[in-house]
Amino acid sequence: TSGMTWGLIPDLSPHLAAADCAAAMEQVFDHDLDHVLAIGMGGPADTWTTDDFGSIYAKARSLGIPGVAHAGEHGGAHEVRFAIEEFEAKRIQHGIGAMQDPTVVKMLVDHAIPCDVCPRSNVALHAVPDEASHPLNAMLDAGITVTLGTDDPPMFQTNLLDEYERAWNWCDLDLDGISQLTQNSLDARLL
């Protein structure tokens, strides 16, 4: 064998009816879960409701599968708070909006909930106005466990190395900062 370890994070889409998402997740839950690391929620968080998706996250938790959620990219800290409080998310994809509310930042820090930050997509999708406005440094300074991600590599013409270069150039991270991001990724992995 190659020695590589892998896993999947099936993603719910709030663009679809909650019943369709639940049916799709039931198919996942009915199979071998050895390679299912978590369930996720993608897309804009403004359409999430506990009534619609809370039971799916609860079922996953009952099977020992943690939840992650795409929150706080375009929306504010309230999306991150909702994902943590209502879905018990153990990791947040993006999370940059958390910086709008110190109590949400504290939640992330106190519960050691990592945020997977994707600088290229944040700028391309106007979640931040420009490279200089990206809150990556502020998130690290606040004690949030930040990892780097690529979001949608083909759409944004990026890869993980490019994101590290952006952290170096746009966010003016030094080698210690880059090392910390790398260590955070290892510490936050779900494998």
Residues annotated catalytic, as ranges = 73
For 30-39, letters b (16+ CB in 10 Å) and e give eeeeeebbbb
Q: In which residue are the tokens 């990556």 written?
A: 136
Look at residues 102, 95, 98, 126 and name the one whose alpha carbon lies nearest to residue 188. Answer: 95
Give me the amino acid identity at 13. S
Q: In 3-state terms, what secondary structure has residue 50?
A: helix
For the beta sheet containing 146-148, the strands, ordered from the edge strand earlier in sequence to the opposite edge, are 67-71, 89-94, 115-117, 146-148
Q: In which residue are the tokens 């690391």 written?
A: 37
